[in-house]
Amino acid sequence: MALSDPLGLLASPFTIINRRDETTDIKAITDIISQYQVEQIIVGLPRSMDGSLGEQAGKVKDFTHKLRRHTDIPVEFRDERLTTLSARRLMQAAETKKNKRKTQDDAIAAALILQSYLDEGHKATS
């Protein structure tokens, strides 16, 4: 998960929510929405390299549909192709420890998705 600054200019890695069950996961997300006064949710949508939506994208859409039932915050999908690869490259350049790489990759990938949204002139806080 990533959050932007209050002006909606810069995305930063925030946290990793380790999946447990839908109820717990949704509560963790809605707690963050409330605590940080999130105004927009940007969800990475895993597309195949040809742009099609596969099984994992369907799972993301299903979960997002359930999340929408628990918040009035607008939700927008963003293509997340290659964001994890980009995050790994950033992390390798920064020479971080290997045992922290997976969680950092995911948080940085979330920040990259949000940053691309912000760079297009949108304002978001998550």
Structure tokens at 92: 């390798």
DSSP 3-state of 14: coil
Amino acid at 6: P
Please, which pLDDT band fits residue 119 given cuts at 50, 70 and 90?
A: confident
Residue 98: DSSP 8-state: G
Q: Which residues partner with 12 through β-bridges?
A: 3
Residue carrying structure tokens 């963050």: 32
With a cut of 70, say whether residue 23 has pLDDT above it: yes
Correct CATH for 2-119 of 3.30.420.140, 3.40.50.200, 3.40.50.300, 1.10.10.60? 3.30.420.140
Convert 23-86 into a string of H (helix), E (strand) and C (coil).
HHHHHHHHHHHHHCCCCCEEEEECECCCCCECHHHHHHHHHHHHHHCCCCCCEEEEECCCHHHH
- Using a pLDDT cut of 70, give the percent of the chain over it: 76
Return the domain boundaries, the chain. 2-119
Residue 8's pLDDT band (boundaries 50, 70, 90)?
Answer: confident
DSSP-derived letter for residue 7 is T
How far apart CA 54 and CA 47 sit, in angstroms, is: 7
pTM (2 d.p.): 0.67
* Mean pLDDT in residue range 52-74: 91
